[in-house]
Structure 1
Amino acid sequence: MTVPSPAEPLEVVSRRHSLLAALEPGPRAKGDLQDTVDCSSSTLDRAIRELETYHFLERRDGSVRLTSAGRLALQEHRRSQQALECITAASHVLQFAPSDAPLSMAVLKGATIHEPSSHVPNAPVERIADRMRDADRVWALGATERTPQFRRIITDQTADGDLAVEVVLTDDLISFLLETSTDALKRFLEVDAFEAATVEEIPYGLAVLETPAKTYTFVTLTDEGDVQGVIENDSQAAYEWGREVFRQVRSTATALQPPE
Structure 2
Amino acid sequence: MADDGRRIEDIALSREQVLRAVVLEAHSKRELTEVVESSRSTVDRAIRELLDVGLVTQRDGRYEATLAGECALEAVEAFHERMQQVSSARGVLGCLPPDTPLDSAFLDGADVYTTMPEMPDGVIQRLFESIEGACHLRGVAPAVLSGHLKPFYDAAKASDADVEMVLDSDVLDQLIAAPSTRDIFLSQLTDDRITISRGNVPFSFGLWITETEVGVVVYTDTGIRGVIVNDTDTAYSWAERRFEELSADASEITMDGIELDE
TM bin, normalised by shorter chain, reads 0.7 to 0.9
- Asked whether the equivalents of residues 91 and 114 of structure 2 are also in contact (C-alpha less than 8 Å), the reply is no
* Cα distance in 2 for residues equivalent to 1:52 and 1:203: 49
Which amino acid counterpart does residue 42 of structure 1 have in structure 2? S
Distance 1:30 1:53 in 2: 16
**What amino acid does structure 1 have at the position aligned with 2:135?**
D
Unaligned runs of 5+ in 1: none
2:24 match: secondary structure: coil
> How do residues 168-247 of structure 1 correspond to structure 2 at under 5 angstroms?
168-180=166-178, 185-201=185-201, 202-210=203-211, 215-247=212-244
- Matched residue type, 1:231: I
* Cα RMSD (Å): 2.5
- The CA deviation at 1:232 is 2.5
- Matched residue type, 2:53: Y
Runs of 4+ in 1 over 6 A off after TM superposition: none
1:220 aligns to what SS in structure 2?
strand
Corresponding pairs, count: 251
| Alpha-carbon offset, residue 73 of structure 1 | 0.6
Identify the residue that residue 52 of structure 1 maps to in structure 2. Answer: 51
| Offset, 1:94 | 0.6
Residue deviations 1:19-62 (CA, integer Å, cap 9, x gap): 11001123222211121122222222221121112111111221
1 CA distance for matches of 2:17 and 2:24?
13
Letter in 2 for 1:196: I
The question of whether the paired residues in 2 share the 8 Å contact of 1:57 and 1:70 is answered with yes
Which segment is superposed worse, 180-189 or 61-70?
180-189
Distance 2:190 2:134 in 1: 21
Going by fraction, where is helix more abundant, 1 or 2? 2
Counterpart amino acid of residue 164 in structure 2: E
Aligned counterparts of 1:3 and 1:98: Cα–Cα separation in 2: 30
Cα deviation digits, residues 171-191 of structure 1 (max 9, x gap)? 111111221355654554454
Structure 2: unaligned runs, 5 residues or longer: none
Residue 111 (1) aligns with residue 79 (2): no
2: distance between equivalents of 1:153 and 1:3? 52
Does the 8 Å contact 1:83/1:105 carry over to 2? no
**1:150 maps to what in 2?**
152
Measured in 1, the distance between the counterparts of 2:170 and 2:222 equals 12
With over 3 angstroms needed to count, the CA separation of the structure-2 counterparts of 1:168 and 1:69, relative to structure 1, is same
Q: Which amino acid aligns with 1:233?
A: N
Greater shift, 196-205 or 132-141, is seen at 196-205
**Whole-angstrom CA distance in 2 between matches of 1:203 and 1:3:** 36
> What is aligned with 2:94?
95
Q: How does 1:121-132 map to 2 (within 5 A)?
A: 121-132=120-131
What is the identity, as a one-letter code, of the residue corresponding to 1:238? Answer: A
Q: TM-score, normalized by length of structure 2?
A: 0.84
Letter in 1 for 2:19: L
Whether the aligned pair in 1 keeps the contact of 2:153 and 2:188 (CA below 8 Å) is: no
SS at match of 1:6: helix
Looking at structure 2, the residues matched to 126 and 41 of structure 1 have their Cα atoms a distance apart, in angstroms, of 55
- Kindly indicate whether the alpha-carbon contact (under 8 Å) linking 2:54 and 2:66 is maintained by their aligned counterparts in 1: yes
2:78 maps to which residue?
A: 79
Secondary structure, counterpart of 2:123 in structure 1: helix
Judge which range, 232-241 or 46-55, deviates more: 232-241
Identity %: 25
Alpha-carbon distance change, 40 to 118 in structure 1, aligned in 2, over 3 angstroms = closer
TM-score by length of 1: 0.85
Farther off after superposition, 24-33 or 8-17: 24-33
SS of equivalent residue, structure 2 residue 99: coil
Secondary structure of the 1:28 match is coil
Deviates more, 1:185-194 or 1:125-134: 185-194
